Structure 1
């Protein structure tokens, strides 16, 4: 029995002598400057995320694996020594162990991987574990990505794909993986392509529903890696925009008003057929999207706009037109040499654009001029009548009066109401019941009755008064001297015959 135990002990000693020397992962820092490190420690730093210093690389490695490690290491000089266990690894592996010691003012940090202890793999184990952890994180990130990611060989075969791609291809149902090789190929992309140039690709599912993706391709050695992002929202928005523009175009096509929209750079972006008809500018010219000043120059050349005699004044006028249209609503009336009259309206649009509306108002201006002419003629006729005439609106406000009225009643003024006029007339005359009857019959807004009577002014003149209701509730008041009526009455009778 003793011999057996001695032989077993000798075999264990021989086995230990056959194991390679295990070198620990140890780093020595003076404040944050690396003084010395073992070979596996240097390998670990090289495998750690990039940072501006070795201390930064170490902290970047330790932070996701140990709780509050930066704060704990900052107080090592006062504590002297700490030993902590980290978080479990992404794959559920045993947590790392960290030993930090203050040695004569220097900080010695030792990292131990419990899973590698006694296996002779401690040196490469930590570096390998860091790489595996990072690889696992990258795999999780790609699996959680909503974008489709896959890799193709130079021959065009799909050799790797993330979860979103497999779900789309139907190779992954919930948590059950049913992969087959080669992996299904969803997109038929040409291998001879340009990197970073997105292409829009459409896929159709079994129900006949179309889905759109923007695909990006990159070289990865001899292979290709592809990314496909959903473009459904963009496609639907572009279609809605096209439909909206088509609707606007059809609507604008039926408008008799010319429309010209210039963008922020003052290039013509949109116009309707009426613009070409009103400005006599060809569709070929407008389709070239001329600038605002090229557009106005062409209008000037074709004499389709009012302009000063010198070009400089015209240029300043057009600059003012642009600035006022960009700042807010602006309207001008152009009297063209051919007798037509245009109303040009400018108003700002979103994103710095400007819209101009060209409206032919020749008939409107002709009608307005005719109306003004007839009104001036009517006023001239009234002013040449010896009888004083005044018209009051339904509200009682004085609307118009001829020259004879102002001579007879010089105290009357425009805007004076009927009530004030009746008082002023009565004060200028000898007291009579005519004015009291006028107040009763004419004061009400409705059902005014005709009224006539004679009154005597303070200077002795006898005035014949007439109050006649007009259409719409208006009222006409006329005043004539008795002597004048005696001279005019025979002429009226003669005209009536």
Structure 2
């Protein structure tokens, strides 16, 4: 049955294609000889010129393959067979420059016939050959336009290096380079470059009378008897590299002036960067540091130089070196090293780009010494006021209890040092009033401590609940702080037991 259908379709194609008119002219024969008959997407038959044209197709010669052949010249050609094609044929004009061709799509007894009509005065060429020629010419024109309109210089030289062709971008750059010169040498000096296949060079040209330098990556591709050259604009890359170099130099100068030792290890845990302070603090030779030692070797030399505390178990500590690097990469490594020499180093690890880690070595010996001296002074001052026969409480300018002595804690049965919360003047007044009889003296104390410019305190007396009388005095000291003093009224002075609340 399929063979019979194919025979009928072929007969229909030829019968429909045979006109009753007299013998046509050669142009009409050319148009008639390039036809295709389709049943939906399937090709049923083709004329001699059509078969020649379909020779450009791949294995299949269905509607989609025909569309690929015709769409470059006929952009409106349908990608799929048109459904419900009426008796009125579809006529499409080509996008050629000059004499235009046509494609006619028509319904022939339920089948679709596609006719390619080439308007050419050459009676020898078939419509298929004309289509092939015009398609090739269009591709060549497209390539020429693409090369000529490219934003980067493209040019061709012969075997002697003489210029044979160049695009508009090349001519524009050359014009900017040699504005005042009547003799224009080659834009790029490629003498001696005879690449066997492909060679890439980074080159620069100066424009605007040497005021500006343009950088290009020139790729030369050797042909049979010519060489094609393609210049890619890399100004942004070169400027970025120059900026990066300047930035690195600036950082290097900055690092060189730091008093903190800096050691940066790359992702392979090799010492990639260090500053002079590192050699000064660790005592490691510059020659050793310049040889890019590994992380383990670096800390081994620190241990040998006694520039790090001796671990209790060095073997296990060395095995945990990777954990140390990981902690530094996360910014979690921070240790204080107390060295046998009496120096104290703060060593911290910080993450660095591209998987690197940075170790910072800071000599905090002076800071530690100052802290210890300051702590010793505080302890001495506290010991002095603890031995006084007076109960003393010092309040800051904001009204917070700054310090008190031992006698104050015994009288009022409180220890502010054990409390996490700050004790204010209001908290202290509440404590005092709970242990004493009512008195206007507490209002005087509150006004004195909270006032910016208090009047001179004449002194006063308060009485504990057990009847013990306390002399009170207030005075303003450095920094806007206030000192409140409680003193046993004679003859009860030094009788601390009587001051305790029963």
TM-score bin, normalised by smaller chain: 0.7 to 0.9
Larger mean Cα displacement after TM superposition, 399-408 or 73-82 = 73-82
Larger mean Cα displacement after TM superposition, 243-252 or 162-171 = 162-171
For 1:347, the equivalent position in structure 2 comes to 350
For 1:63, the equivalent position in structure 2 comes to 71
Structure 1, unaligned runs of 5 or more: 1-15, 174-179, 488-497
Q: How does 1:269-308 map to 2 (within 5 A)?
A: 269-306=272-309, 308=311
Cα 1:258–1:43 change in 2 (3 A) is farther
Cα 1:435–1:253 change in 2 (3 A) is same
Q: Is the 8 A contact 1:257 1:359 kept in 2?
A: yes
Residues 18-68 of structure 1 deviation map (CA, whole Å, 9 limit, x = unaligned): xx99983344556545565556545545567xx684444432232232243
Larger mean Cα displacement after TM superposition, 93-102 or 240-249 = 93-102
Q: How far apart in 1 are the matches of 2:115 and 2:323? A: 77
Q: How does 1:232-311 map to 2 (within 5 A)?
A: 232-264=235-267, 266-306=269-309, 308-311=311-314
- The match for 1:204 among 198, 203, 206 is 206
For 1:447, the equivalent position in structure 2 comes to 454
Q: By how many angstroms is 1:103 displaced?
A: 6.2
Q: By how many angstroms is 1:365 displaced?
A: 0.8
SS at match of 2:78: helix
Cα 1:37–1:165 change in 2 (3 A) is farther
Q: By how many angstroms is 1:155 displaced?
A: 2.7
Larger mean Cα displacement after TM superposition, 428-437 or 392-401 = 428-437
Q: How far apart in 2 are the matches of 1:268 and 1:451? A: 71
- The match for 1:457 among 459, 464, 473 is 464
Q: Is the 8 A contact 2:264 2:358 kept in 1?
A: yes
Cα 1:308–1:416 change in 2 (3 A) is same
TM-score of the pair, normalised by structure 2: 0.77
Cα 1:57–1:221 change in 2 (3 A) is farther
Q: How far apart in 1 are the matches of 2:270 and 2:229? A: 39
RMSD: 3.7
1:188 aligned to 2:196?
no
Structure 2, unaligned runs of 5 or more: 1-24, 496-502
Q: By how many angstroms is 1:159 displaced?
A: 2.3
For 2:216, the equivalent position in structure 1 comes to 213
Q: By how many angstroms is 1:214 displaced?
A: 0.4
For 2:92, the equivalent position in structure 1 comes to 85
1:25 aligned to 2:34?
yes
Q: How far apart in 2 are the matches of 1:131 and 1:265? A: 56
For 1:147, the equivalent position in structure 2 comes to 152
1:470 aligned to 2:477?
yes
- The match for 2:411 among 376, 385, 408 is 408
Q: How far apart in 2 are the matches of 1:126 and 1:138? A: 18
For 2:114, the equivalent position in structure 1 comes to 109
For 1:11, the equivalent position in structure 2 comes to none
Cα 1:293–1:462 change in 2 (3 A) is same
TM-score of the pair, normalised by structure 1: 0.78
Q: How far apart in 1 are the matches of 2:439 and 2:105? A: 123
